[in-house]
Chain A
Amino acid sequence: MTGPAPGAGPVPRERPCPGGAVDREGAVEMAALAPILRMSGIGKQFPGVKALDGVDLRLLPGEVHALMGENGAGKSTLIKVLTGVHPVDAGEIELAGQAVAFGSPLEAQAAGISTVYQEVNLCANLSVAENIFIGREPRRWGRIDWRRMRVRAADLLDRLELDLDVSAPLSTYSLAIQQMVAIARAIDIEARVLILDEPTSSLDAGEVEQLFRVMRALKEQGIAILFVSHFLDQIYEISDRMTILRNGRLVGEHLTSELSQVELVAKMIGQELADLEKLHGEAKVFDRPLVEARGLGRTGAIEPFTLTVHEGEVVGLAGLLGSGRTEIARLLFGADHASTGEIAVGGVPVSLRTPRAAMTHRIAFCSENRKSDGLIPDLTVRENIILALQATRGWTRPVPREQQDELVGRYIKALKINPANPEHLVRDLSGGNQQKVVLARWLILEPRLLILDEPTRGIDVGAKAEIQRLVARLSDGGMAVLFISAELEEVLRLSHRVGVLRDRRLVAQLPNDATLTNDVLLETIASGGPA
């Protein structure tokens, strides 16, 4: 790889700091000339997959560097190779000019490379102070000095503007706070490089702000931060430079200020953004009701609602978290029992007492929690896809292997599941591809009503667009879709009709015409009635 892309100049943008001490400026410049971390020509092979191929990465002291790429582009692998979780197959890593190779995260930590992962990797059963210091507890005469540990923990958290009871178990605090504790732990190890792997995915806006404040403070102290996030706005708010990966290869290194969001997305997915506005063809008429819920409700979960989904129609459900979106889906799938009301499928009243009953009426439900409810990580892609089909047939009539291979092959191709190997373990797939496997499993049953609960959460732009296109295609083919998403734009883009929920009540059903905009939806959610 020669000369990565424009904007890879050796001197990073530094905010001019008027009146700053001369020698300090000099030091910053000196340090800036030499990256604190340089990875070059990194290659990593997993069984059947080339995860990384000739990837370069440079981190400068005092910068926030975004590592961008779709799911499966190799971001996580690059981080794991850097921190010694996996050994490198090819290439070199230099830390402060010296070649290094870490055998474990512990060694990487000792050298000053700390990582905070997407899932908080702390022990919730231990106290806050202990989580910060475990493995490096202050000791006196060989015994752990608990008092000094608590004092130091409080000091450290103070630097992050956090005021916690450090002797309380970590489990008593929110995920966001736990994340900050993880960062406190990371920076106490005299970190020179701090890796934040999707730290914001479970934080709300205020918490993200708090995190960014901490990141800026650390930046001031000259720490290089490698930041991974799916939220482009966040990337543009906090990062100075970025490195973009695609399919395990380096696409380029850019100054954030010189790359527009559209360009970035195009580079990440390797093509110009599909015109998502034109997802649906010409206007359709919906006159064949498929599933009708009349006065359906469940005490304490969702107030009685009436909702009809027609063949070929996409009905979006919008509302805040906990407003009753998932509860509607679970009632229609028979996962919960309705306490009032009735359901008709194709005009015939039915009783959906179990998911199995719903499945015989060809209603499918992709739950929002693909990790815990949906996939079996230790089975192959093929086995996971076949699972629901097999379940409808009963275990005494196995699906013939030939038919399995044919079906699975078809859906792997249709959904572009990557790697396109039916015998790959689902565990090793990226989030977006796992989501596609869940989808394939239900699609194979050829459902008439497909309920999708947050199908695009936590997956990247490219996979998201693909899933949206798929939903549009399916509904054009006559399938009814109930689409639940926290992202209003997505709901608006896909749905023919939008049901708005508020406080466990279906407050409005709005046809998606030219008058329906994001603001109207927000207004409806906020006011609790049709605007």
Chain B
Amino acid sequence: MTTETLTHGRRLAVPAKYVPILVTACLFAAMFVAGGVRYEGFASGQVILNVFIDNAFLLVVAVGMTFVILTGGIDLSVGSVVALSTMISASLMAGPGWPPYLVIPLVLLIGSGLGLVMGYIVHAFDIQPFIVTLAGMFLARGLCYTIGTDSIPIEDPTFTAFAQTRIDLFADLWISPSVLIAAVVVLGAAYVLHYTRLGRGVYATGGSEQSALLMGLPVGRTKITVYTISGFCSALGGVLLSFYMLSGYGLHAVGMELDAIAAVVIGGTLLTGGSGFLFGTVLGVLVLGLIQTIISFEGTLSSWWTKIFIGLLLFVFILLQRLFSARRRN
């Protein structure tokens, strides 16, 4: 089945750019079917929705990461910014007792601001994003500990309400408000990428920065904007994580930047930029989440197996990308 679709795709309708995403989709379907055959109660819609519920924050962060990687950059600071956001939210609500409608905009502003500054440094001084965002990663993580070294619980009623609300869909299926927010972010981001000049500028910059410049596109502004978007998404991811965890802690989301990058790559976006789709990133997050689900269904496997599977998958996908780009060159 799978191979048939692929060979068809090469010769007929499916353009080459959709092939990586198709591979991921097939992988997801295969994993779901395999899980359904192996475990009782696996093959239900709620299992997939639970993946969304447990990974809504990762999805939002990965959306920001997609923007950055599409320009050919990388943002290592996202995990730390998520942690910083949970920390700021929790401390402001616990200590001075700020209301959520002040705290959340403030956190989003801080996250975006951090992204803006990193983007500006990347652009203005022409420094590798890797090193700039690495600095940002240490900075944000360190800032968490200036607020507090311990976990701060969140008891604000709005937050707890968000954490406990179930939005019922049809037929016993339900999602959390976080999933709704993540869905809005995904749709908004997809619209921006496909239907606005900013979005097309992102692809052009990733395709060839030099050409984009000579075609008169605002490359500098685009780069600064994607890091700002990533910062915003990280902060929003942090807010969603604090709904989920109901606490702020400097050790939240350690290594989440790598999960986000993994999701984007598995979703078929080229690390060199210029090629990929937001829908692929959604699939990437789903695949990562489904691996966790399968391992929890298995019961006897330690959760570290998640990492092993993600590692293997990444190898496979990077090799696939290599094959595709090699064939395109020929």
Contacts and interface: CB of A to CB of B under 8 A. Distances in A.
Interface centre among A115, A120, A123, A171 (most CB of B within 10 A): A123
Nearest to B328: A171
Given A125-B274, A126-B204, A169-B17, A143 B195 contact: yes
Nearest to B273: A125
B215 A130 contact: no
A123 B195 contact: no
Interface centre among B208, B210, B215 (most CB of A within 10 A): B215
Contact of A123 (B204, B218, B328): B204
Contacts of B274: 123, 125
A170 B239 CA distance: 41
Contacts of A171: 328
A191 to B, nearest CB: 13
Contact of A125 (B206, B213, B215, B218): B206
A245 B30 CA distance: 66
Contacts of B206: 125
B203 A125 contact: yes
B5 interface: no
A106 B197 contact: no
A236 interface: no
A13 to B, nearest CB: 33
B200 A117 contact: no
B275 interface: yes
Contacts of A105: 213-216
Contacts of A139: 197
B212 interface: yes
Given A135-B197, A143-B195, A144-B197, A124 B217 contact: no
Contacts of B197: 134-135, 137, 139, 144
Interface residues of A, number: 26
A109 B212 contact: no
B200 A124 contact: no
B240 to A, nearest CB: 28
Given A123-B204, A125-B275, A144-B197, A134 B215 contact: yes
Contact of A144 (B200, B214, B215): B200
B215 to A, nearest CB: 6
A123 B274 CA distance: 9
Contacts of B153: none
Interface string A96-126: 0000000011100100000101001111111
Chain B contact patch, size range? 20 to 34
A120 B211 CA distance: 8
Contacts of B16: 169
Given A123-B274, A125-B274, A143 B214 contact: no
Nearest to B217: A135
A185 interface: yes
B9 interface: no
B113 interface: no
A124 B207 contact: yes
Interface in B223-277: 274-275
A117 B216 CA distance: 13
B149 interface: no
Nearest to A120: B211
Contacts of B44: none
A121 B208 contact: yes
B216 A109 contact: yes
Contacts of B211: 120-123
Interface in B49-103: none
Interface centre among A122, A125, A142, A144 (most CB of B within 10 A): A125
Contact of A124 (B195, B208, B210, B216): B208
B296 interface: no
A241 B217 CA distance: 33
B215 A126 contact: no
Given A125-B203, A134-B215, 9 more contacts: A121-B211, A123-B204, A123-B274, A134-B197, A135-B217, A143-B195, A143-B196, A144-B194, A144-B200
13 contacts: A121-B208, A121-B215, A123-B204, A123-B215, A125-B275, A126-B200, A126-B203, A134-B215, A134-B217, A135-B201, A137-B197, A169-B16, A171-B328
Interface of A: 104-106, 109, 115, 117, 120-126, 130-131, 134-135, 137, 139, 142-144, 168-169, 171, 185
